[in-house]
Amino acid sequence: MSRSGEGIDIAANVAQVRERIARAAERSRRLPDDVTLVAVAKTVPAERVGEAIAAGVADIGENYVQEAASKRAQVGAGARWHLVGHLQRNKARQAVEIFDIIQTVDSHRLAEAIGRQGQALSRVVPILLQVNTSGEPSKSGVAPEDTEELLLAVRGMPGVAVKGLMTIGRWEADPEASRAEFRMLAELAKRLEDRTGVGLGWLSMGMTHDFEIAVEEGATLVRVGTGVFGQRPT
């Protein structure tokens, strides 16, 4: 496999990932259609993103606002774009202009900034609250025990609509290492729904190395980059 992703059959990779999602869904007595594949295109050229869309991918994830702005302009319509990387408040306006969904909201102030821009553009921005289920200081996200406070502060905020929760599992060679964190997120969402009445049906968890575990634990969105586009360049 080329380190740059050249020579990769993206359509074949998409089909393989979808098959793995389907098998994981079957193991957990769910329907494959309950799970959305978000193809994460960090550092991937626009033409490769276009190939993924042509292969039936309807959701594209990007980590950086500037990179997404350039690629979306080249690719055009055909997919929903998700921000899956950390967002600085001073880039909220551009993010709202570019992205259909922002998955990485971890503070009241960030939600307010997105909401202001949503109102300015006459749209309600779907957001997910990012939860740091691993407790690793290197990761963004609100602590699980503080998520209810953030949810209560953000629900009903003009310009945004909380749709669910997102987490990044700890990276270990054994993907089973992420299972407890994914289960924690699913249980947290259910508990918060019961306590607050806010529907949190979107659960974004799992990446290339552990998305099958995430599906088994209730993921409705999985963020797969390398599994679709091949290894990124160093």
Closest by CA to 6, choosing from 215, 224, 230, 204, is 230
Q: What is the mean pLDDT of each run of 10 residues along the chain (234 residues)?
A: 62 98 97 97 96 97 96 93 97 97 98 98 98 89 97 96 95 90 98 97 97 98 97 73
Question: How far, in Å, CA of 226 to CA of 234, rounded?
Answer: 13
Q: Which residues pair with 131 in a beta bridge?
A: 142
Closest by CA to 34, choosing from 202, 167, 192, is 202
pLDDT for the residue numbered 133: 94
- Strand 125-130 relative to strand 36-40: parallel, antiparallel, unpaired? unpaired
Secondary structure (3-state) at 142: strand
Q: How many CB atoms lie within 10 A of CB 202?
A: 20
Angle at 119 between CA 113 and CA 198, to 5 degrees: 75
CA 75 to chain centre: 20
DSSP state of 106: -
Q: What is the CA radius of gyration of the chain?
A: 17
Cβ contact 160:124 at 8 Å: yes
pLDDT for the residue numbered 200: 98
Query: What ranges do the domains of the chain cover?
Result: 10-228
Q: Where are the alpha helices (DSSP H) in the chain?
A: 10-27, 46-54, 65-75, 92-98, 108-120, 147-154, 179-196, 211-216, 226-229
To which CATH superfamily is domain 10-228 assigned? Answer: Alanine racemase (3.20.20.10)
